[in-house]
């Protein structure tokens, strides 16, 4: 499969190129030049596969000669061997609603599903090339812990994780900062997630710097994350779809997880609507419901993984909406950067064929956690509550699956506010409350961050 950048579709890349680079030198995001959907017969043949075997069938067409299919099957098995449920994910029924639990990996969040695989992809690559890779990643809470767990202790690579200081939950932070591996470096940035993400993008865009440290990235902008996450849309459909199109509600911040659903639909999966569920940092809800893509100040909420205004992966959708015209997409991204972009009526119509949206504020989120616990004796994390609340507001519970993105124990304050109860960490992770934390506090200054990275490698 050939890949291009959303900002230059003339230059061709291999999967190996785009996996290791993460972000294109022109600032664009990598996508396949074209996506061939599976036939109805192929999709029908997938329906009884285990999660691991299904993952191999869906991922293999995207990776070319990066590895053999046998190696891929082996790495998938290795990646998911430490999950707490046999088939990686669980589906829980709450009345008419189905909830896809994605948090059974080692750091209790959906990010583990892609990140464990990516960690083993790096290890496979480094078995053949002895260069040292330096991975730099921004996190709004869960990505960092998942990346650290997947990459800790691996030879010939370091991982630098930037998180917004005091803007993620204590559990999210401790899952990162208590790691004792010598190749892990945590950086607390005095700012918000968008600041962290902009710092990472600036380092990628500085070609001299990024090449000098052999820089790579594992944020949701890395295409490998998208293809790994597309798998669970297929798996959920085969378990509960009954041959009819399903909708999926996705708690959404950076637009990566829901874009994976969009990819699944492009691959031929019968998906009706993809529900963009946001907190009061609602730029994506405003954009999809009415075309307003104006950035506002990021507000702290009880759903910190969605405290984002610049949804990086939205660029991939805009490229499609603009008929795969990379020059037009490049111009759009300049407007977005200058906060002068509004989605026109024609483009909004194209987006709304696949996406609808809804927003929950702080009080609604807490009330939803309480309501679910009262009615179903089930505790959900606040992000999942937003996904469920969006479905209820839209009135589409019957044929909809909500993606449950994190274990409730990662957000103790929200759970206590809702039901006056604390959800405990699994025994295997209780050590994070006892170990000493280790991180560097830096200002939102690209030169200081670069200097820290350079001095650490």
How is the chain split into domains, by residue range? 90-108+223-419
Residue pair 248/403 in contact by the 8 Å Cβ criterion: yes
Half-sphere exposure of 154 (CA within 13 A, CB side): 26
Residue pair 199/304 in contact by the 8 Å Cβ criterion: no
Residue pair 147/161 in contact by the 8 Å Cβ criterion: yes
Tens digit of pLDDT per residue, the chain (457 long)? 999 999 999 999 999 999 998 889 898 999 999 999 999 999 999 999 999 999 999 999 999 999 999 999 999 999 999 999 999 999 999 998 999 999 999 999 999 999 999 999 999 999 888 789 999 999 987 889 999 999 999 999 999 999 999 999 888 899 999 999 999 999 999 999 999 999 998 999 898 999 999 999 888 889 999 999 999 999 999 999 888 899 999 999 899 999 999 999 999 999 999 999 999 999 999 999 999 999 999 999 999 889 988 899 999 999 999 999 999 999 999 999 999 999 999 999 999 999 999 999 999 999 999 999 999 999 999 999 999 999 999 999 989 999 999 999 989 899 999 999 888 888 888 888 889 999 999 999 999 999 999 999 8
Structure tokens at 280: 């009061």
CA nearest neighbour of 93 among 376, 289, 393, 447 = 376
CA nearest neighbour of 302 among 412, 386, 192, 414 = 414
The values of phi and psi at residue 253, to 5°, are: -125, -65
Q: What are the CA-CA distances from residue 148 to residues 106, 108, 220 (Å)?
A: 11, 13, 15
For 165-217, strand residue ranges (E) read: 184-190, 215-216
Helix (H, G, I), strand (E, B) or coil at 317: helix
Catalytic residue among 21, 111, 265, 410: 111
Q: Catalytic: 111?
A: yes
Which of the 8 DSSP states describes residue 400? E
Residue pair 36/77 in contact by the 8 Å Cβ criterion: no
* Cα–Cα distance measured from residue 119 to residue 347, given in angstroms and rounded to the nearest whole number: 37
Give domain 90-108+223-419's CATH architecture.
3-Layer(aba) Sandwich (3.40)
Burial class of residue 131 (count of CB atoms within 10 Å of its CB; 0-12, 13-18, 19+)? exposed
């Amino acid at each position: 499969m050939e890949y291009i950048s959303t900002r230059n579709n003339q230059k061709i890349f291999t999967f190996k190129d785009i996996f290791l680079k993460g972000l294109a030198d022109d600032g664009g995001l990598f996508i396949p030049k074209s996506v061939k959907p599976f036939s109805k017969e192929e999709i029908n043949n997938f329906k009884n596969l285990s999660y691991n075997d299904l993952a191999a069938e869906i991922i293999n067409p995207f990776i070319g000669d990066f590895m053999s299919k046998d190696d891929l099957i082996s790495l998938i098995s290795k990646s998911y061997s430490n999950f707490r449920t046999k088939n990686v994910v669980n589906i829980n029924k709450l009345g008419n609603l189905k909830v896809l639990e994605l948090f059974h990996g080692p750091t209790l969040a959906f990010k583990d599903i892609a990140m464990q695989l990516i960690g083993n992809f790096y290890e496979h690559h480094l078995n053949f090339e002895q260069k040292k890779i330096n991975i730099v990643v921004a996190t709004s809470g869960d990505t960092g812990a998942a990346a650290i767990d997947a990459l800790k202790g691996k030879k010939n690579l370091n991982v630098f994780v930037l998180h917004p200081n005091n803007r993620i939950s204590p559990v999210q932070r401790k899952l990162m900062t208590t790691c004792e591996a010598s190749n892990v470096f945590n950086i607390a940035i005095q700012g918000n997630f968008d600041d962290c993400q902009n710092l990472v993008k600036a380092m990628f865009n500085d070609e001299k710097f990024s090449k000098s440290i052999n820089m790579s990235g594992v944020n949701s902008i890395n295409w490998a994350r998208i293809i790994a996450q597309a798998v669970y849309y297929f798996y959920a459909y085969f378990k509960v779809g009954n041959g009819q199109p399903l909708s999926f509600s996705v708690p959404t911040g950076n637009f990566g997880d829901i874009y994976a659903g969009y990819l699944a639909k492009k691959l031929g999966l019968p998906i009706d609507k993809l529900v963009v569920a946001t907190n009061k940092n609602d730029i994506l809800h405003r954009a999809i419901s009415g075309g307003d893509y104006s950035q506002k100040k990021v507000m702290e909420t009880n759903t910190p993984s969605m405290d984002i205004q610049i949804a990086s992966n939205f660029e991939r959708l805009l490229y499609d909406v603009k008929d795969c015209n990379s020059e037009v997409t490049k111009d759009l991204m300049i407007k977005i950067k200058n906060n002068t972009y509004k989605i026109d009526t024609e483009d909004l119509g194209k987006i709304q064929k696949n996406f609808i949206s809804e927003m929950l504020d702080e009080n609604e989120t807490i009330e939803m956690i309480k309501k679910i616990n009262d009615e179903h004796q089930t505790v959900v994390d606040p992000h999942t509550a937003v996904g469920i609340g969006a479905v209820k507001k839209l009135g589409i519970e019957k044929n909809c699956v909500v993606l449950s993105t994190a274990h409730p124990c990662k957000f103790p304050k929200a759970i206590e506010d809702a039901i006056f109860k604390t959800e405990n960490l699994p025994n295997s992770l209780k050590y994070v409350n006892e170990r000493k934390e280790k991180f560097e506090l830096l200002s939102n200054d690209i030169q200081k961050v670069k200097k820290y990275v350079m001095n650490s490698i």
